[in-house]
Chains A and B, each alone.
Chain A
């Protein structure tokens, strides 16, 4: 296999990228000072991929919402029982998650790494879907959906996405609905599996304390020979405009929750990474906990510091700059935020603030990469964004105040902002 060494002198660390003939990319990041290791087997397939076709087919097909997540649950089942049994033997802690644009299977272990890696690579390549086991899962996932219906943070976010997106399936709950999952059967699961779980559409990342040669050997030995499949997933065209300004729901909460979002243009590659870093710097400068604006919101009793936060919420084909928290006066918070962005667009962020928040974001990135788990997940993240993991640190070091002010002035458009509120029932 073709092997590339990727090194960062500032961090004093390196990792290796392998390209398998099937199209699978493998990242190995040795962290010998740790005792544990962490491996992720991911596919570029998430809840938004509901309309697709492969290069072997002529017609696009649309499948029920929530099917990627359903598939993730079912992949843990094999003809011989549950994949959890394989990991119980090694002591590894195994799990999986489905996001909007990806599905990842993973384990973390402090012993028997090699058997655990073999188990991961094997079970993800061996689907076993039957009519019976699909029906059984409908009860379990039905309860997972019900659980999320009661989670105010989850609801307030999806209601916001519903305000922002006309067509993008990001607005649909990852697990789907009780009605949509009722339409899922074994045949549909195989159809999705065969399209998206082709090695050409997948990636493996391993971090921690392991032997590089043994790891790559285990992966290679356990990869099935498969014909390469190219899959095309259609994310419907999405206008720049938002759907509606506001959405309010009632739930069992004490204080109203809000989520405010600016709909932005999604970008990939180096430029996309740089823009996302600029957004992060802008948030920190404008409403970070060291800003005057944050202090004013706090002093006016509009926000509580334990709940207030912001994030660049993004994935393949969508990006929203999101601000969330709890407030008795959510709409006033939104008005103040919109005004503040308009004001800062005029004045620009100043040099002193820029330098301070840049140090903060830089330190935060390194603090965030302080363990085995986040390193493997960041490798996967970078891969799906067509970036290289260390690029982030270097781009951040080189970002200028002009870059940040330019991005600020071309985004945070006051006509493309919406608010979602969850009020006490």
Chain B
């Protein structure tokens, strides 16, 4: 059983969301700073996110911090940078055993709240900047992280396609920013930006676990009462609009398998009533092993190991991505378009609709089975100010008719074709 979410407004633009469930043996606390995604700040924000998890005033280095976490039964600290529409979200989260599972009487959860508050609001400052000791190392580390995106060709190709589509808008920025920006960032610049984030960003704190959240609430309430805030309301993300001309992007790299990504404009994002219908259309096309893409492109034609859809609801962009042999690129592309045309021309069965619905139902219901999934789901709901539970989402999908799917599918238009293929051998 998962109890309904409880939301407390701690201060202007600062919310505390709490979900209690005795199914977990843990408590997870996260703090999320939601800021506009901008070319000028994308890199420095990512760097700030890396720096925060290294220590705080009174716990000078990460060795001390990690030892502190180990003493708290291996509590797990992580930082994350993500993009959601036209915003960049910096998250710090801590997960630890509930006090009841400690082998002694350690107050794990209260201590974890204090550590998180210290990391977020009590950083050590030397001459107006983040302390310099490890600043260069962290810059190098972020630079390596940015560059290592190419290691995962599947993810890289999807990101490249998305960037090609959104090259003139914020969503086209990479979430960790640009390696070349790093050289100009000083400890002072980074700290100034951090102060700006604390002052102006939308801040959402989440608590998910079996324990009592009252200590966490009071620790955070106390901390945010001291903040000087000038909070900027986050505007909802704009839907992607195609320029009308087909954009073909070809990239060469040392690879064995080619990657093919088709990017479509759908015209439907979180602010549209058509969203459930569009989700269902994408589902019929490629959300499960019984969907059109899997059954036809993989199973019937045996062109690939994977061929799947990814629907970005914040921008209303549909991506279809696959890994294929060079000589099969055109064949795969044609077949993907064929399958989409089948959806558009009402050539899909009631069973395909039902399968898509069942797939979504299972995945929405599964959100409540994991603390991190609950955290992520409700973070977005609080941000969008749409307090719908996973069950509400399922109900909306259940109400979608064949006609709705057909109507939604008509607005899906090919915008970009991205391919990644091997370099010709020169020697």
Contact = CB atoms under 8 A, between A and B. Distances in A.
Interface in B263-303: 288-290, 294-295, 298-299, 302-303
B289 A149 contact: no
B323 interface: yes
B226 interface: no
Interface in B69-92: 69-76
Interface string A87-117: 0111111100000000000001111000000
**Centre residue among A139, A143, A146, A255 by max chain B CB count within 10 A:** A143
Contacts of B399: none
A126 interface: no
B134 interface: yes
Nearest to A364: B74
B395 interface: no
Contacts of A36: 365-366, 369
A334 to B, nearest CB: 19
B178 to A, nearest CB: 14
Contacts, number: 200
Interface string B151-190: 1111000000000000000000000000000000000000
A153 B290 contact: no
Given A295-B62, A367-B95, A253 B23 contact: no
B56 to A, nearest CB: 16
B361 A111 contact: yes
B70 A357 contact: yes
Contacts of B255: 150, 252
Contact of B24 (A137, A359, A370): A370
A179 to B, nearest CB: 15
Contacts of A146: 256-257, 323, 325
Contact of A91 (B70, B351, B362): B362
Interface residues of B, number: 73
A85 B25 contact: no
Nearest to B179: A254
A370 to B, nearest CB: 6
Contacts of A92: 362
Given A91-B359, A304-B144, A307-B148, A295 B63 contact: yes
B368 A252 contact: no
A65 interface: no
B140 interface: yes
B44 to A, nearest CB: 18
B213 interface: no
Contacts of B368: 35
Given A35-B368, A110-B365, A326-B144, A88 B67 contact: no
Closest 5 CB pairs of A and B: A363-B73, A139-B302, A91-B358, A254-B147, A110-B365
Interface of B: 1, 21-26, 61-63, 66-67, 69-76, 95-97, 101, 103, 134, 137, 140-141, 144-145, 147-154, 253-257, 288-290, 294-295, 298-299, 302-306, 323-325, 351, 354-355, 358-359, 361-363, 365-366, 368-371
23 contacts: A34-B369, A36-B366, A36-B369, A82-B289, A85-B290, A91-B362, A94-B289, A108-B366, A111-B361, A111-B365, A143-B303, A147-B154, A151-B152, A151-B153, A254-B149, A255-B148, A289-B63, A305-B141, A306-B141, A307-B148, A362-B73, A367-B25, A371-B370
